[in-house]
């Protein structure tokens, strides 16, 4: 069985634990795309609101002062989860001139990734209190479910924004709504939700929120890579070879970070 989903999601399937089956994931072929969406959302939520300005101008307006924004150059990006996607996101943020903080319990301070990014490894509370933009890149599992809640939003700067392109379950949405409405944080951009498609929520009515329907990997190029990876791994197993991207092979690990 081969699927484009993440290793974490496959591990929740009871059939994935059957020893007679090979489960594989092509998620590594998708990883560049979420790393592009995060900085896109970051730019939109911090800049001079180009979408709103576009609509206003097309309607006959010319209200330059109405659409003041904030630069991201020189600001601090907090990366929650420095796996492959987190690493690629941080690398792209560097191109915008951002400073990088990272929360990654699996990494040591002398890790080569941190050195390449000139990133500072910190605790979660410190990251949240110092970051101007927080970007989430952790899998969904019992340890990360609801890991960002009222307590954590209270430690963030009132000018800070949070972006989630990983899994919706990691954020307590009710607490996020309260933080956004009360001004504890400035904004949020969410490509993923706890339930998809989500039921009606106050998030849809908040002006300081950007919502997209889990489209981080929805490009022609990404889907072509996924299709190729799925077919290649199925062919490898049928030929008696080990899959390149195993999801449940005992004693082995995927060739990339989950």
86 HSE (CA, 13 A, CB side): 26
Instruction: Decide: helix, strand or coil at residue 148.
Output: strand
> Is 18 part of the annotated catalytic residue set?
no
> Is 70 part of the annotated catalytic residue set?
no
Residue 96, Cβ neighbours under 10 Å: how many?
16
CA distance 26 to 232: 10
Tokens describing residue 77: 């990006």
> Is 3 part of the annotated catalytic residue set?
no
Q: Please give the C-alpha separations between residue 186 and each of 53, 58, 70, 156, 250, in angstroms, as whole numbers.
A: 19, 27, 12, 10, 45
CA distance 175 to 55: 31
Q: Pick the catalytic residue from 49, 70, 214, 236.
A: 214
Q: Pick the catalytic residue from 130, 152, 167, 193.
A: 167
CA distance 56 to 210: 18
What sign does the CA torsion over 160, 75, 191, 80 have?
A: negative
Tokens describing residue 107: 């990494």
Which residues are known catalytic residues? 167, 196, 214
């Amino acid at each position: 069985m081969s699927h484009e989903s993440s290793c974490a999601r496959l591990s929740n399937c009871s059939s994935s634990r059957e020893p007679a089956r090979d489960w594989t994931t092509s998620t590594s072929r998708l990883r560049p795309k979420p790393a592009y969406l995060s900085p896109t959302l970051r730019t939109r939520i911090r800049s001079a609101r180009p979408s709103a300005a576009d609509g206003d101008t097309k309607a006959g307006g010319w209200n330059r002062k109405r659409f003041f924004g904030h630069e991201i150059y020189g600001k601090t990006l907090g990366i929650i989860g420095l796996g492959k996607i987190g690493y690629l996101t941080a690398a792209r943020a560097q191109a915008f001139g951002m400073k990088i903080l990272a929360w990654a319990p699996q990494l040591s301070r002398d890790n080569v990734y941190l050195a390449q990014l000139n990133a500072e490894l910190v605790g979660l509370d410190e990251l949240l209190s110092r970051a101007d933009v927080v970007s989430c890149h952790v899998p969904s599992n019992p340890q990360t479910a609801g890991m960002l809640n009222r307590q954590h939003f209270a430690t963030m700067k009132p000018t800070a924004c949070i972006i989630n392109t990983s899994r919706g379950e990691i954020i307590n949405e009710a607490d996020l709504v309260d933080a956004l409405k009360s001004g504890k944080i400035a904004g949020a951009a969410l490509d993923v939700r706890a339930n998809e498609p989500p039921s009606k929520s106050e998030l849809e009515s908040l002006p300081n929120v950007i919502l997209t329907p889990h489209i981080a990997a929805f490009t022609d190029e990404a889907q072509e890579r996924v299709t190729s990876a799925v077919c290649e791994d199925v062919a490898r197993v049928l030929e008696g070879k080990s899959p390149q991207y195993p999801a449940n092979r005992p004693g082995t690990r995927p060739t990339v970070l989950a």
